[in-house]
A and B are shown apart, each in its own frame.
Chain A
Amino acid sequence: MGYVAIKGGSRAIQGAANVTEALRAAEGEQGVPLTISTIKNQLRLLTSRIVSEGGLYHPELAALAIKQSQGDTLEAAFALRAYRSTKPRLLETPVQDASKMRIIRRISSAFKDISGGQMLGSTHDYALRLMRMELADESPEHFRNIAKKFMQSTPEIALPDSFPKVVDALREEGLLANFSADRVGHDAFDITREPLSFPAPRSAGLATMARAETGSLLALAYSNMRGYGDVHPTIAELRIGYLPVMLPHMVTGELVEAGEVLMTECEVVAMYEDDANGGKPTFTLGYGACFGHNEVKAISMAILDRALQKGMADGPSNPSEDSEFVLLHIDGVDSMGFASHYKMPHYVTFQSDMDRLRTTQKKHQEGRS
């Protein structure tokens, strides 16, 4: 009899790569390859998600990652993150001022109206979730007309360059604690250079959540909202827009705008607390911010930020308040990698398990006879 040769591993991998690529181009003769621009624009929210989870602000590469991964968000974020790994660190930006954001959407649930106004911007919040069957057969001409018609029919109104922060108004009134100016720019924890260890500083928690997988963050925040926690949040402000990135000029040192990044920022006000030093009680703040247009992510992040701060102060009484539980399980690259690894060969370890069970079964048998 012959033995079974377990060979051909490299041929198998090559074969898998070939068939995956063939599936990507399965439309064959009718096929038109996706362009980066198509993905970036027509799937802009998907692209935003990948930019945020990849942790690298490069919408074009994020679109490419979506294309090569055939729409798998975990794979796409992974590819972008791995690419980021290869890039050298040029410098660290100084702390950026989010109030300077060039707004495209800005709302507050805490007040009926706010200074600067409630700017709904682009949102699905009030859209009816009905299938738009007419989109199934959209003609290129019809498509190209949409933007033209919008620009022609919408009046141009000058917007102020920036809008004041709602939380600043709350701070002025003493309803929200002021942060001390000397703590701004205080060493932020760099999760890409140092491993997390617990207790983890707040900046480490925020950084981890900023590039966390959206569904994981949402599930944990939802558990807090539903009752495994008591943040009871009100959104003081949710703003989406382009934040100018100010970098020091290499000669003069003066801060110069080097470009802008699209980002989402959510500030949530939660139940008030006594001040630790015996001063008057104030509302507590939860903060969430990430690259791209990702509202659910920023809201979830703000709620978890508040929950984790409470957990740090009083001890966690729910999973969403436990730093280790939250921060170690929300990274999509780590979690999907480990889930996938179970598909790899484990036959040596299984051989070991079988040996144990067989011995134990034998003993059990002997015990009975």
Chain B
Amino acid sequence: MSAGYNFGFMDEHAKKEIRRAILKAIAIPGYQVPYSSREMPMGRGFGTGGLQLTLSLIGENDTLKVIDQGADDSVNAVNLRQFIEMTCPGVDTTTYLSEATLIQSRHRIPEVALKPEQVLILQVPYPDPLIVVEPSEDKRKMMHGEADYARLLVKLYEDIVKFDEITISHRYPTRINRHYVIDPSPIPRWDVPKLNHSPALILFGAGREKKIYAVPPHTLAEPLAFDDVPFRVEDFSDEIGNRRACVRCGSRESFLDEFTDETAGKVYQCSDSDYCDGQLAKQSGKEAVYA
């Protein structure tokens, strides 16, 4: 017995259906387009939605970057990248953002602004922000159709009453083009502003929940907030109020990972590994590829 796979693993009909769903998603910004998600050789929850988007869009002229938690070397990213390399012979892969045409990412948007020729694909576990207030999909569809987000907004109100601020940390509900509210995937609040008037197309793929949605370029993306309680990103200040720096490259402008080192204690380092490498390269004059 032997298995012969098509370029991109999925058959052409599956890819075509997904591209059609993508076009519909772009035409209706923020609307969750249902599609018949195919089973992939990696588990549901491991990025099969993002993967199907990538495989439907990728061609031999593409250069692919895959990151998880901002790093190219994280196990999930490595696994996906190897699978794509195996099933898409001739496609280049890279860790340099500037070289990439397609970027598949889990939980982060790169620190450096994307270019119009690039497409960012985000992996989504929960496509629907209304799931926290309404378990029935049928009812949620009606609420989205009528832009009836009052029950979600009440949750934000109750948060402010209890904690003096909105306590949603990641997956912050964001309104696209003044109608549909999306779950922007578990990116930190830090990354939500990058959705607003993005130069590049941003696609969202939920494999298990079988939905595709999009924030097209130059589209309004507003995190839900009250007029007098504005949206706030994560705070990287230390106890005396100074903004922490990355221990590796010194940047005070990026999202930092916090972890413990046996000798040094608490350590802070850029989550976006390519960005960190770029900062170091700039400092030593070897910055050509990070232009």
Contacts and interface: CB of A to CB of B under 8 A. Distances in A.
Interface of A: 1-4, 6-10, 12-13, 60-61, 64, 78-79, 81-86, 88-89, 191-199, 324, 328, 333-334, 336-342, 344-349, 351-356, 359-360, 363
Given A83-B3, A195-B37, A13 B169 contact: no
B125 to A, nearest CB: 7
Contacts of B11: 86, 88
A193 B171 CA distance: 29
Contact of A86 (B6, B74, B164, B261): B6
Contact of B78 (A9, A333, A360): A9
B73 A6 contact: yes
B189 interface: yes
Contacts of A3: 247-248, 261, 267, 269
Contact of A82 (B39, B71, B210): B39
Nearest to A328: B137
B46 interface: yes
Nearest to A36: B1
Given A195-B35, A196-B210, A345-B68, 17 more contacts: A13-B75, A78-B43, A83-B3, A85-B10, A85-B38, A86-B10, A195-B210, A197-B34, A328-B137, A333-B44, A337-B45, A338-B45, A348-B187, A349-B170, A351-B257, A354-B258, A356-B169
B73 A8 contact: yes
Main secondary structure, interface of A, reads helix
30 contacts: A3-B267, A9-B78, A12-B75, A13-B82, A85-B38, A191-B36, A195-B34, A197-B34, A198-B136, A324-B135, A324-B136, A328-B137, A333-B44, A337-B45, A337-B48, A340-B45, A341-B44, A342-B45, A344-B46, A344-B75, A345-B69, A346-B186, A347-B259, A348-B188, A349-B171, A351-B256, A352-B189, A354-B258, A355-B234, A360-B163
A57 to B, nearest CB: 15
Interface in B1-34: 1, 3, 5-6, 9-11, 13-14, 34
A196 to B, nearest CB: 8
Nearest to B72: A9
Main secondary structure, interface of B, reads loop
Contacts of B3: 83, 86
A178 B136 CA distance: 33
Contact of A6 (B71, B82, B211): B71
A324 B169 contact: no
A89 B5 CA distance: 14
A85 to B, nearest CB: 5
Q: What are the 5 closest A-B residue pairs judged by CB atoms, nearest first?
A: A341-B45, A337-B44, A337-B43, A195-B34, A352-B169
A342 B44 CA distance: 11
Contacts of A84: 39
Contacts of A360: 163-165, 167
B74 A9 contact: yes
Interface of B: 1, 3, 5-6, 9-11, 13-14, 34-41, 43-46, 48, 68-71, 73-79, 82, 106-108, 125, 135-138, 141, 163-165, 167-171, 186-190, 208, 210-211, 234-235, 247-248, 255-259, 261, 263-264, 267, 269, 271
Contacts, number: 174
Residue from B9, B125, B169 whose CB has the most chain A CB atoms within 10 Å: B169
B45 A353 contact: no
B82 A10 contact: yes
B207 to A, nearest CB: 8
A336 B45 CA distance: 9
Nearest to B265: A1
Contacts of B264: 1-2
Contact of B137 (A191, A193, A197): A197
A353 B1 contact: no
A7 B170 CA distance: 25
Given A82-B41, A348-B255, A349-B107, A359 B75 contact: no
B264 to A, nearest CB: 4
